[in-house]
Amino acid sequence: MSRNWTRWLTGAGILLGVASGALWRWQQRLLADLAAGSELVETEHGTIEVATRGSGYPVLVLHGTPGGYDQALFAGEAMFDGVQVIAPSRPGFLRTPLTDDGSPRAEAALLDALLDDLDVEETLVVGISGGGPAALQLAAEYPERVSGLILGAAVTIETESRTYGVPVHPLVDPILTSAPALALRSGVFGLLQRFAPDRLIEITHSKASTLEGDDLEAYVAFVTSNPEHRQRFLDMVSTVRPAGARVEGTLNDERWFEHLPLADYGAIECPVLVLHGEFDAPVPMTHATFVAERVPDAELVRLEGDHFLMVGPDAERGGEAIQRFSESIIATSEQRTV
């Protein structure tokens, strides 16, 4: 009996070693590919990773939580045509270091310095989900920089959302956010995306939506049965891996989310478009109504969607609102420079 157990344990150990090695190599390839698609810029307020694509009017896209420049780039290129997309990794995400001051105010100062280095005087700003606080801070404190602001499912008020399910416990937290745990999480989601993509879509939407039962099933069916929406969603969820390279920024964001709002929303001078899903579970509609009621020039568009506004039956209407708003902002800016 003991001999059989020894063989079993030996075999299991070998399999575990092989799996761990394969997972490590997969993550290293992901990180290498990500590093090849961006550059590090040394600003007066520190180092920041950024990717720029296209030409035309500059649009600064601030990714969600978790995310990185890849997520901002994906969203920017999906939302806009004929513009220059500026896609940074916010502090603590991918290759942008997190400093002692991880506040939205410090992040806004870093973004302002980045725009200086890129010779961008004025930009349209997009704040997606957890990128909302920094986008709002930038608009409030550097009004000369921001010609317009688009908030998509943005965090704007106090919230205790936990991306990694961390229970805020001094003993448990380090385990759930440790490198092995996050590597395993990334690996499982990577396998799901490859071998059971529709199941991944179902799991993700069930956590991102307040819909239940038949309503949720119908919503997920729309996404999985529509090739464009299905692929867009799968491309989007790829931008949260590997989790280990994004956890520091995620935990920092969530610490600051508990103290919102920090910016004076009433001081924002530029036009603001607020897009939000009626069925958004992690960031409820109250975030959108709060900021829309306080910004002097704000438009709120309520979409029949959950947290992932780029897919779903009402995604097209959201895209039309973005196009209309951005065209107006760009036209107004160009008239001022004539």
Is the pLDDT at 5 greater than 60? The verdict is no
The predicted-structure confidence for 80-121, as pLDDT tens digits, reads as follows: 999 999 999 999 999 999 999 999 999 999 999 999 999 999
Query: What separation, in Å, do the N-terminal and C-terminal C-alpha atoms of the chain show?
Result: 87
Mean pLDDT computed over every residue of the chain? 90
Is the pLDDT at 183 greater than 90? The verdict is no
The pLDDT of residue 292:
98
The pLDDT of residue 30:
85
The pLDDT of residue 53:
97
Q: Quick one: what percent of the chain has pLDDT higher than 90?
A: 78
* Mean pLDDT in residue range 142-164: 91
User: Buried b vs exposed e over 255-294: b needs ≥16 C-beta within 10 Å?
Assistant: ebbeebbebebeebebbbbbbbbbbbbbbbbebbbbbbeb
The pLDDT of residue 107:
98
The predicted-structure confidence for 189-237, as pLDDT tens digits, reads as follows: 788 888 999 999 999 999 999 999 999 999 999 999 999 999 999 999 9
The predicted-structure confidence for 33-57, as pLDDT tens digits, reads as follows: 999 999 999 999 999 999 999 999 9
* Mean pLDDT in residue range 256-265: 96
Q: 328 falls in which pLDDT band (50, 70, 90)?
A: very high
CA angle 185, 190, 193 (to 5 degrees): 130
Which sequence spans correspond to the domains of the chain? 37-337
The pLDDT of residue 103:
97
Burial of 222 (0-12, 13-18, 19+ CB in 10 A): middle
How far, in Å, CA of 151 to CA of 275, rounded?
6
Q: Quick one: what percent of the chain has pLDDT higher than 70?
A: 85
How far, in Å, CA of 69 to CA of 239, rounded?
9
CATH class of 37-337: alpha beta
CA angle 87, 60, 45 (to 5 degrees): 80
